[in-house]
Amino acid sequence: MFKKPLSHQSNATPLRSSARRQLLNAIFEQYPSLLGKKQNETPVNPTTTHQPSGAGSENIETTDEKVTSTSAPGQESEGLSEKELGKLILPDGVRISNFETSAEVQGTFWLSPDGDPLWMTFGRNSKEYIPTLSLLSQPLPNPPLPILQLHNPLPPPILTGAPLFIPAVRNLSTPWLIPDIQEGQLVAFVSSASNGTANVQYIGVGRVVAKGGMRSALERRIDNLRNEGGEKEEGKFADILCIIDDHLWEMGNKPPLTPFELPIPPKALAPPPSSNQAGPSSSPRSSSSSSSPTARMNTLNIDDDRDEVKPNSESASDSTSAISSAPLTSSEISTLLSISLLQALTTLQPSLFPLPASLLYSAHVLPNRPAYIPKDKRDEVVIAKSEWKKLTKWMKEVSKEGLLKIKESKGEVIVQSFDPQHPSLQNHNEFTTVSQEEAKAAKKAARESQSAPASTAQNGTLSAAKSAGTGVPASAKGKEKDLLVIEELWKPTGAASSFWEAAGVDKSALHPPSEMKVALDSYLAKNNLVLPNDHRYILLDDELGRAVGLKKPEPGQKMARDEIMKKLKSGVSWNVSLGGVIKKGTLQPITMSVKTRQGRKTVTHVWGLETFDIDIDAFAEELRKKCAGSASVGLLPGSSPKLNLQEIQVQGSQVKLITESLANKGIPKKWIKEAEDSKKKK
């Protein structure tokens, strides 16, 4: 939220004493744990308006009741009266200031007399008061927010405003140390240099956005580890509202953050182990049935350092469907592109530079995007949807930071070199990339395709039995099946086989398109074939020359990089993985044509659906409802009756709606085209 300086902040004005009392009442109402009272079972709704009560506001000044300290995090502040606590969290002389972030989010600060931001709200007239790190650094007798420990070192993206994902949370194997945080609830983040529960420090404040809160997010992760054998894309777990060393922290005096021991949450996901034998005095939640979520967590051992799950006993039934991630913001996209650039630079040799910025972006940054980005969101992580919008602007900003050295030549940005000793590169933690995941998926698809013909009938029988046994409706299974996963794959063949073998490519396996660029770049760097003064041209050696159609290239003969890629692509054998089934050759796209007949009557023709295993009759019925018009199925004109190729005719010009329906089935737009003779209609 505060990764960039504020775009505007008004002058701070003193808060009247009556307004201070009303604000204090509202804070105590929102955070009863400050007074040692039990938190409400339901979280504070961000949209709820907390109107301070006028009557009784004077009690803030007159009460001498002592505040009970239930968990004092490393602070010797027990025995504070409510009046003393009020002066601690909202001291006399507090000032108020309005602000606007770089993302055009408006809000209000309440500042201490020394200028430290203590409380903040987001949005006009909001009554949800959010504590800052400066407030949490005070010697509070009780923490106002549930506390969640994160791994150390922190994931670099969250320090620049990116959201938090569930693998960054510690203590997943000890659910009694994890608070039962609900969706939409505020949470305080802590971390420890030793990754232990001792000497933790506050590092930030966030809001849980995962569907179902902490309990459901952990349940989904457990099921994924048990059933899938690894992490599954879940989307973000929490949004970061403020984090250490951001611009909000820089605004104040950076008070010391006193270490303390991680307290056991009043409302944890599971009771501590000792409470299982506590008899009648134990918590009522500890006697829950074995089929409850808590019991399921207790029967599993999750390793915090390795993504493994070990069942200790038979677990209950599988969990529900996965969550859908929210659209990525331009700030999140910028962060993901930044770490993709760092990942790419760690794999590149300095001898490859100078390099056109466009080539660096397309051939290295995009393939090195993190694999944990949900597949349906990966197309969003592009420069056009980032905060920079233009590649040139991004390169100039990175150059100012000292990571890259660039030069503009004839309107094109050339990356001259990069600094391998730059702090951002030194502190970068490598991750699994999109290209690595695609390569792994391609090899898996190739292995499965070898056994697919022999087991098709058996798998069909088992799938039907499994659907009946699990009680999942057939319609739901059908919808899952409709969502196709289509991948282009290639395999070395012909005259270029020896080149690909020299480039380290397995000739017997299928590979994703991104691996072609990676293999070529690696071969060029290894053999020093890139022209030093112009990286758009490549020197041809014997192997590369034969691969592009030259029997024996002349010494010093060169060819444009784009032309080499074009020839290499045309010289390999292409296959397509369609829902895990490998088909040789390229796919013929689904074609649409809008024609006018009988005067002004317009009809949209759709054909080529058989290639993608689409049920034509069911799809026609779907279009009939979606387009609110007639839709009929007939033989494709001009085709052989033996092939039984069919087309759908839909009333009206429905190209856009049909394209959307096909995209919802997982068919990319590159395999959907409009015929040349189609009548263009708006």
Question: Could you report the per-residue pLDDT of 557-589, keeping only the tens digit for each?
Answer: 889 988 999 989 888 888 887 766 777 777 788
Residue-wise pLDDT for 140-153, tens only, equals: 888 999 999 998 88
- In sign, the C-alpha dihedral spanning 446, 450, 452, 453 is positive
Token reading at 97:
């200031």
Least confident of 229-233, 429-433, 547-551: 229-233
Place of tokens 């990676």: 518
Residue-wise pLDDT for 355-403, tens only, equals: 888 888 888 899 899 988 888 888 889 898 888 988 999 999 899 888 9
In 3D space, the residue among 436, 433, 395, 441 whose CA is nearest the CA of residue 417 turns out to be: 395
**Whole-number pLDDT of residue 452:** 54
Residue-wise pLDDT for 38-83, tens only, equals: 544 333 444 433 333 333 333 333 344 455 554 444 444 455 788 8
Least confident of 40-54, 264-278, 331-345: 40-54
Per-residue confidence at 287, pLDDT binned at 50, 70, 90? very low
Mean pLDDT of the chain: 77
| Alpha-carbon gap, residue 59 to 63, rounded angstroms | 5
In 3D space, the residue among 245, 6, 250, 237 whose CA is nearest the CA of residue 122 turns out to be: 6
Return the DSSP state at 66. B
Mean pLDDT on 648-658 = 89
76 CB-contact burial (10 Å; exposed 0-12 / middle 13-18 / buried 19+) = exposed
Coil/strand/helix, residue 172: coil
Per-residue confidence at 294, pLDDT binned at 50, 70, 90? very low
Q: Which amino acid is at 612?
A: F
| Alpha-carbon gap, residue 593 to 522, rounded angstroms | 44
Among the residues of 414-496, which ranges form H helices? 423-426, 434-470, 474-482
**Whole-number pLDDT of residue 680:** 53
**Whole-number pLDDT of residue 227:** 65
**Does 448 score more than 90 pLDDT?**
no
Mean pLDDT on 323-345 = 80
**Whole-number pLDDT of residue 324:** 37
Strand 186-191 and strand 147-149: the pairing is: parallel
| Alpha-carbon gap, residue 361 to 341, rounded angstroms | 8
Q: Which amino acid is at 15?
A: L
Coil/strand/helix, residue 186: strand
Per-residue confidence at 89, pLDDT binned at 50, 70, 90? very high
Residue-wise pLDDT for 489-547, tens only, equals: 888 888 888 898 888 888 878 888 888 888 888 888 888 888 877 888 899 998 898 88
Residue-wise pLDDT for 316-329, tens only, equals: 333 323 333 467 88
Mean pLDDT on 94-102 = 92
Range from 21-25, 51-55, 319-323, 432-436 that averages highest in pLDDT: 21-25
CB 665 within 8 A of CB 482: yes
Cross-strand partners of 511 = 490
Mean pLDDT on 126-152 = 91
| Alpha-carbon gap, residue 258 to 199, rounded angstroms | 8
**Whole-number pLDDT of residue 60:** 36
Better pLDDT: 465 or 152: 152
Residue ranges and CATH numbers for the domains of the chain are 8-144 (no CATH), 146-273+288-312 (2.30.130.10), 330-426 (1.10.10.2030), 490-580 (1.10.245.10), 588-674 (3.30.780.10)
Strand 95-100 and strand 117-122: the pairing is: unpaired
pTM (two decimals): 0.43
In 3D space, the residue among 122, 130, 127 whose CA is nearest the CA of residue 99 turns out to be: 122
Mean pLDDT on 438-447 = 76
Residue-wise pLDDT for 193-207, tens only, equals: 888 888 899 999 999
Place of tokens 């393939």: 367
**Does 242 score more than 90 pLDDT?**
yes
**Whole-number pLDDT of residue 586:** 74
Q: Which amino acid is at 296?
A: R
Mean pLDDT on 289-304 = 43
**Does 238 score more than 60 pLDDT?**
yes
Mean pLDDT on 479-490 = 65
| Alpha-carbon gap, residue 406 to 354, rounded angstroms | 9
Mean pLDDT on 157-167 = 81
| Alpha-carbon gap, residue 25 to 34, rounded angstroms | 12
CB 176 within 8 A of CB 272: yes
Mean pLDDT on 219-247 = 76
Q: Which amino acid is at 59?
A: N
φ and ψ at residue 393, rounded to 5 degrees: -65, -40
Length of the chain: 682
Strand 590-597 and strand 13-14: the pairing is: unpaired
Q: 354: cis peptide before it, omega within 30°?
A: yes
**Following CA atoms 363, 366, 370, 371 in sequence, which dihedral angle do they give, to the nearest 10 degrees?**
-90
Task: Kindly report the number of other CB atoms within 10 A of residue 250's CB atom.
Answer: 10
| Alpha-carbon gap, residue 681 to 60, rounded angstroms | 70
Least confident of 61-70, 347-356, 625-634: 61-70
CB 603 within 8 A of CB 592: no
Half-sphere exposure of 256 (CA within 13 A, CB side): 6
Return the DSSP state at 125. T
Strand 130-131 and strand 186-191: the pairing is: unpaired
Token reading at 524:
């060029």
**Does 35 score more than 60 pLDDT?**
yes
Strand 672-674 and strand 590-597: the pairing is: parallel
User: Distance between the two ends of the chain, CA-based, in angstroms?
Assistant: 41
